[in-house]
């Protein structure tokens, strides 16, 4: 596993790459993690997808990436993805967004559609959500799994996300996506992608497949890990 620090303006982004640049002939998979996820959250996924080359990074303010005092709007996160793509000189690649990372991935995909061989969107609708007043306080006080929000993200990062995020729907532009797109949706009460929202993806993007995880909700990549990996391997056409 290769570890990199990628400069995006004054911000350093922590990045993991499963291969050296001359080690793999597969089309890379670049992962845009969820709201508070570090790059390390995807280690199990990366190992399970071998020999697929996988690149994952932590967005600004997450994991080991540096946390600027401001710069938490949608466009800042899209610029993070651009910086990683530029660093690795990715000319054709798969892009996966998970949870909040879907909105960052869509923000990039709709600007750089020609670079994408495929798009994977897991557990989030085609919208960048604005966080309402009080969201930051609630996040910081809530336990997310075994960790309180205040232990996952610095307070100024959470408040920056609340203050700078603006509601933005990608639905009117989804038809511009021409690459094969895989939609992953859980059915549990905590799922963030409804059946209707998944159908809208399917109606707007020409080449779309929806895979439903019947026994879990938002945490499908952990709760149904085996199915998650089988689905990705099939989509990425990884030989068994």
Same domain, yes or no: 227 and 196: yes
Same domain, 184 and 160: no
Co-location of 111 and 221 in the same domain: yes
Indicate whether 22 and 65 sit together in one domain: yes
Report pLDDT for 145: 78
For residues 140 and 210, membership in a common domain is answered with no
Q: How far apart are CA 40 and CA 62, in angstroms?
A: 11
Q: What is the pLDDT of residue 147?
A: 84
Does residue 139 sit in the same domain as residue 119? no
Are 186 and 102 found together in one domain?
yes
157 is in which domain, residue-wise?
A: 135-164
Are 154 and 40 in a shared domain?
Answer: no
Number of domains the chain is built from: 2
Q: Global pTM?
A: 0.95
In a shared domain, residues 141 and 188:
no
Handedness of CA 66, 72, 78, 79 (dihedral sign): negative
pLDDT of 24 above 70: no
How does the average pLDDT of the chain come out, rounded? 94
Scanning the structure block, which residue is given the tokens 């670049």?
30
Nearest to 84 by CA among 114, 140, 39: 39
- Please tell me whether residues 186 and 142 are part of one structural domain: no
Write out pLDDT tens, residues 167-221.
999 999 999 999 999 999 999 999 999 999 999 999 999 999 999 999 999 999 9
Question: Last residue of a domain, which of 149, 164, 179?
Answer: 164
Mean pLDDT value across residues 141-158: 90
60 plus 101 within the same structural domain: yes
CB atoms within 10 A of CB 168: 16
Q: Specify whether 38 is located in the same domain as 146.
A: no
């Amino acid at each position: 596993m290769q570890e990199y620090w990628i400069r995006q303006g004054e911000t350093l982004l922590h990045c993991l790459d499963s291969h050296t640049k001359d080690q793999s002939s597969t089309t890379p998979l670049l992962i845009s993690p969820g709201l508070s996820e570090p790059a390390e959250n995807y280690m199990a996924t990366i190992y399970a997808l071998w020999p697929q080359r996988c690149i994952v990074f932590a967005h600004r303010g997450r994991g080991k990436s540096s946390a600027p005092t401001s710069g938490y709007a949608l466009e800042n996160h899209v610029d993070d993805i651009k910086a990683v793509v530029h660093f690795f000189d990715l000319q054709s690649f798969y892009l996966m967004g998970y949870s909040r990372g879907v909105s960052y991935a869509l923000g990039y995909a709709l600007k750089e559609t020609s670079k994408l061989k495929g798009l994977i969107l897991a557990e989030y609708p085609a919208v960048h959500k604005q966080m309402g007043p009080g969201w930051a306080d609630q996040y910081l006080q809530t336990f997310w799994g075994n960790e309180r929000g205040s232990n996952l993200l610095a307070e100024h990062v959470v408040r920056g996300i609340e203050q700078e995020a603006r509601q933005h729907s990608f639905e009117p532009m989804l038809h511009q996506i021409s690459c094969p797109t895989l939609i992953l949706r859980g059915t549990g009460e905590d799922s963030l992608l409804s059946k209707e929202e998944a159908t809208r993806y399917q109606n707007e993007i020409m080449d779309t497949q929806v895979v439903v995880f019947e026994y879990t909700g938002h945490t499908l990549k952990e709760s149904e890990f085996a199915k998650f990996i089988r689905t990705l391997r099939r989509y990425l056409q990884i030989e068994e």
